[in-house]
Structure 1
Amino acid sequence: MSGEALVSFVTGISGSGRLSLLKEVQSRNDALKIIDVGTRMYKKSSDLGIQIPDGKILDMDPLALDYLRAATFEDILKEVEGLRSAGSAVSISTHVCFRWKKHLMHAFNFHYVNALNPDVYINVIDNAHSVYLNLLHDSAWSGRLTLKEVLVWRDEEAFITRMLAEYQRKPFYLFPRREDPSMLERILFKVEAARKSGSKPLPKAYLSYPITHVKGNPEVWKEKDEVKQKLKDSGVVVFDPISIEDSVLIDWAYEAVAKGKETVEVEVDGRVGEIKVKEILDAVGDIKDQIVVRDYQLINQSDMIIVFYPTKVLSPGVLSEIKYGYTHNKNVYAIFPFEESSPFFEYYTTRLFKDVDALLDHLREVGAL
C-alpha cells in the first residue's frame, strides 16, 4: 500500500552515526527506504571494474571522483523516481563536505541535488567527543583531525545542508544522534509527509530548562524526563538540548588540569580513547558558541517552546531561549509551579502552567494536539 512520497536528504559527517540512526528509524518503520551514497559509490566503482581500497576514495583524482559521484547519482535519480511514483519514503544518506588533508572538499553536485528535489533536509549531529572517538577508531580517519577540526567540520556540514534547504525553500532540521529515533520517524512520517499530503502535522516543541540545576538534582532530572515523556506520549515531537552534550568536555579538561593530567580518557558506546587536554582547551570557544547557535536552531525548527522551570532562580540560558523564541513568532509555554515569577520571565512567556497536565489540556483546547 503506497503512502505519501517523501524524499529526505540526510547529511552528517563521518563518525556522526547518520546511517545507523536511519537504520534504527527503518527498524521502527519499514516503509522507509535508505540509499547510502557512499556505499553506492563503492559499489558503482566495483561494477566498473575499479576496486577502491578503504580510506582511499578521497585521494582519487578530483575529476575521476566527480565522474564516479555523477554516475552514482544517475542511478540514484532513477531509483528515487520509481520510489516517488510508488508513494514511498526514501532517505538519501550522504555527506555534503569532507575536511580532508586540512582543506574542505565538496561532496555533492548542485545539478543532482536540484534533480532530486528533496522534500526535507536533515543534518545528523553527535557529541564532538563521540565523533572524535569514532574517527579515532576508523582507519581512514584516525589521527587526521583535532577536536577543533571535528567541531568546525560538523558545523560546516550543518551550515551547507541548511543553505541547500534554504535555496530550495525546503524545511531543515538539526537532529541529535542520541535523541529518540522515534522523533525522527515522526518528523518524516507524521510531520513532513503529513504536511505534504494536506494532513495535520504533529506539533514540534523545544524543551527548555535550567540544565545545570536540573542535572545537579536527580529528583528534578526525573521530573524533567517525566515531562518530556508525557509530551511525547501526547504526540509532540520533542527536541531536548541535552541530546548534544559537548560542554562536558570543558569540565573534563579543567578536572584533568587540576590533577596535572595531559589527556582525558573518554568512553563512548564501549569504545575508549584519549583526547589531549590542550585540544579541548583550544576548542572551548567553539564549544560554547556552537551550543548557543545549535539551541537556537532547535528552536527555529520547533512550533513552540515548552519551559520546564522547577526553580525560582533565573537561568541566563533559559531566559535567552525564551526571548529568542518569543521574538521569533513561537508560543512560549512555561511549567512553573510557584506563585510569583520575575516580570521578565512573564513578559516573554505566552502562558504559565502549574504542571504539564494543565499545559497539555490547554494545547488540546486550542487545537495544537
Structure 2
Amino acid sequence: MIVVVTGMVGLDKKSYLETVCRIARQNGNEVLLCNVGDMMYDEAPDVPPGKILDISLKRLHSLRRSVFKDIIVKARQAPHLIVNTHATFRWRHGLFPAVDFDQMRQLGADMYVCLIDGVTTMHQRLLEHRAVEHTLKDLIVWREEEIISTEMLCKGIDETAPFYCLARGVEEDTTETFYRLAFERHAKKAYLSFPMTAVAEMDTVLAEIGRFRSQMKRHFICFDPGDLEEAVLPLHAARAKREGRGHIDVEVGDRQIQLSADEVLQIERDINSQIYARDFLLIDQADMIVSFIPAMSDGRAAISSGVERELQHAHEAAKEVYVIWTAQQHPSVFITQTASAVFRTVAEALTFFEKRHLAE
C-alpha cells in the first residue's frame, strides 16, 4: 500500500501521520513514513529551517526530484509507504507545483488523501510557529487549491486510484479513519448528515447529534462535516459588528484566540461556497449517506435546507440513502421517496446496518 498525502502549510501533517503509522503497527502493518520536507532539508544542510522555499526555483526543483527518486526506491522495499508532501507551493515565487508527474507515475500510489483543517486552527498554528505571513483569505484559498490540485494529480496519474478529502477533526482527530481508509478498504464508507448551524444553540439537540456521530463512527468509515466547522464564524462576526465589537473570540483546542470581525466577514462567501462544494465531494467519496433528523422541543423535525440538499445529491448520485427521523411529525414525501430506508431511532438503524452492511 502506497499512500500520497497532501495538505497545505499549517496542518502539522507529520505528527498526524506518525499517529496513523502507530495505529498501523498496532494492527500488524509496518508503515514507512517519508516526510518530503524533512528529506529536502537533509539534502540541503546549508538551508536554514523555514527557508527552503526561498532558494531558487531551479535548486528547489532539483532537490525535490532527488528526494522523490529516493522515495521511489524505498517504495520498492517497504511493506507499506506514506508520502507526506504538498500538491502545490505558494510562496514569494507565486503558486507552483510540489510534485512531478513522471516521478509520481513511477511511484504508483494506491491512494491519494488531501488533509484539510479549519481556517482558525491553521491560523493559530502558523502564528505560533511564525511560519508564513498570511490572511484568513490566503488560508481558505490555499486550502481549496490544494484539494483541487491533489484530485487532478490523482486522476492524471491513475484514474482507478481513489482520492479522498479528509479533515483532521475538531473534537477528536481522524487518524483512525485514515488508517481504515488505507487498510480496511472493504469497509463501508458513510457520509454523516445532520443539521448544524440551525441547531447551534440547542444543547439537547447537539447532544443527540453527538451521540449519533459517535455511534456511526464505531461501525463505519465516516466522513463527518462536523470535523471541520466554520459556518458559525460569519454569524459570530456579524453579531460582533452589530454590538460594536471589532473582533470575535474563538476557541482553538484549549486556547482562545481573537479574529478580526471584518476579516472573517471578508471570507464569508468563500466559507459558504466551500462548505457547499466540500460536502458534496464527501458524499461522492462515500458509499452511502446516513442522515440524522432530530426533534426539537416542540416535536417538530430539526431539518435544514442543507440536509435536504445533501439527501437529494446522494440520491441522484445513486448512493444508499438512510434517514433516522426522530420527530413526531411524519417525514415528507421528498424524504420517503428518495430514502432507501427511514428509521425512527438510531438503535433501529444500527440493527438494520448490522444485518445488512456490517456482516458483509
Fold conserved (TM > 0.5)? yes
Residue in 1 aligned with 2:212? 227
Cα gap change, 1:137 to 1:105, in 2 (>3 Å): farther
Rounded to whole Å, the distance in 2 between the matches of 1:261 and 1:342 is 42
Residue in 1 aligned with 2:333? 343
Shift of 1:29: 2.4
Cα gap change, 1:275 to 1:159, in 2 (>3 Å): same
Residue in 1 aligned with 2:180? 186
Read off the aligned partner of 2:347 and give its amino acid letter: D
Matched, 1:150 2:145: no
Read off the aligned partner of 1:264 and give its amino acid letter: I
Shift of 1:265: 4.1
Q: Quick one: which of 13, 20, 26 aligns to 2:21?
A: 26
Does the aligned pair in 2 maintain the 1:148–1:282 contact within 8 Å? yes
Shift of 1:249: 1.9
Shift of 1:171: 0.5
SS in 1 for 2:129: coil
Find runs of 4+ consecutive structure 1 residues off by over 6 angstroms.
none
Matched, 1:63 2:23: no
SS in 2 for 1:175: strand
Residue in 2 aligned with 1:97? 88
What pairs with 1:249-328 in structure 2 (closer than 5 Å)?
249-270=233-254, 273-311=257-295, 312-328=301-317
Q: Which moved more, 1:325-334 or 1:15-24?
A: 15-24
Does the aligned pair in 2 maintain the 1:17–1:124 contact within 8 Å? no
Does the aligned pair in 1 maintain the 2:4–2:109 contact within 8 Å? yes
Does the aligned pair in 1 maintain the 2:197–2:231 contact within 8 Å? no
Residue in 1 aligned with 2:126? 135
Shift of 1:267: 4.2
Normalising by structure 2, report the TM-score. 0.90
Stretches of structure 2 that go unaligned for 5 or more consecutive residues are 296-300
Rounded to whole Å, the distance in 2 between the matches of 1:279 and 1:102 is 25
Cα gap change, 1:242 to 1:102, in 2 (>3 Å): farther
Normalising by structure 1, report the TM-score. 0.88
Q: Which moved more, 1:160-169 or 1:201-210?
A: 160-169
Residue in 1 aligned with 2:351? 361
Does the aligned pair in 2 maintain the 1:232–1:238 contact within 8 Å? yes
Read off the aligned partner of 2:33 and give its amino acid letter: I
CA RMSD of aligned residues (A): 1.8
Q: Which moved more, 1:98-107 or 1:325-334?
A: 98-107
Identity of aligned residues (%): 32
* Relative contact order, higher structure (CA 8 A, sep 6+): 1
Cα gap change, 1:367 to 1:260, in 2 (>3 Å): closer
Cα gap change, 1:181 to 1:214, in 2 (>3 Å): farther
